[in-house]
Amino acid sequence: MNKEKTTIAILGGTGALGSALAKKWAQNGYTVIVGSRKKEKAETTAIELNKEIGSELIKGLDLIEASKNCNLAVMAVPYSSHQMTLDAVKNNLIGKIIIDTTVPLQGNVTKVSLPEKGSAALEAQIFLGDKVKVVSALQNIGSHLIGSDKNIDAEVLVTGNDREAVQLVRELINDLGLTSWDAGCIENSAAAEALTSILIFINKRHKLKSSGIKITSH
């Protein structure tokens, strides 16, 4: 991935996961746009993040301008705003990749609950159409781990219908210091999205701070 030529828009970049991603990718040389429903909030977050890491690579824009001015977007908003955010940016994403990190948590967060169409990422792919490449990733790892400088002993499942897009997203995830796996078609995102509720349950039941997953081979 050409870092100098890649501008990543993080829709919901003012939030926990979005700011952690913005910081890490900017530290790796990518230009990052924090996208917010409110431009001023995005600008404030961008100033704070740049200050924290000593960079000038992060800027803040509203969701529409962020999606217009990027080559690749990331969905990092709560599931309750998933559809509204997709609606706002749909026309600006044609020909681009969007990484969907959404976990469709509703009600009891320790109980798997998936949308009628199967998963949040599949909903996004159906809504955005074939001209937008939806790649699903990062559902099973906490924002505090992504934002930290520690070695992270956990792995990431990446799904999507375009293998080249999945590979490209895996390179971006590699720049976060994480190992990832191509886990197949976008329908398979249901497994990663569902796993989050299981990990939350395990954290509570076994008193762990942040359980995660790893693929093993024997």
Ligand X SMILES: NC(=O)c1ccc[n+]([C@@H]2O[C@H](COP(=O)([O-])OP(=O)(O)OC[C@H]3O[C@@H](n4cnc5c(N)ncnc54)[C@H](OP(=O)(O)O)[C@@H]3O)[C@@H](O)[C@H]2O)c1
Residue from the set 44, 110, 143, 167 that interacts with ligand X by CB under 6 A: 143
Tokens describing residue 91: 């026309």
Check residue 67 for interaction with ligand X (CB under 6 A).
Answer: no
Question: Cβ(60)–Cβ(38) under 8 Å?
Answer: no
DSSP string, 108-122: STTS----TTS-HHH
Looking at residues 11 to 50 of the shown chain, list those that interact with ligand X (rule: CB under 6 A): 12, 14-18, 36-38, 41
Give the interface segment with ligand X, choosing from 76-84, 89-97, 109-117, 160-168 (CB under 6 A): 76-84
Produce one character per residue of 117-137: b if its CB has 16 or more CB atoms within 10 Å, e if not. ebbbbbbbbeebeeebbbbbb
Task: Tell me how many residues contact ligand X (CB under 6 A).
Answer: 23
Nearer to ligand X, 29 or 200 (CB): 200
Interface mask toward ligand X for 167-206; x: CB under 6 A: ----------------------------------------
Sign of the Cα pseudo-torsion (184, 113, 18, 67, in order): positive
Check residue 92 for interaction with ligand X (CB under 6 A).
Answer: no
Helix H or strand E segment including 7: strand 7-11
Binding site for ligand X (CB under 6 A): 12, 14-18, 36-38, 41, 76-81, 101-103, 138-139, 142-143
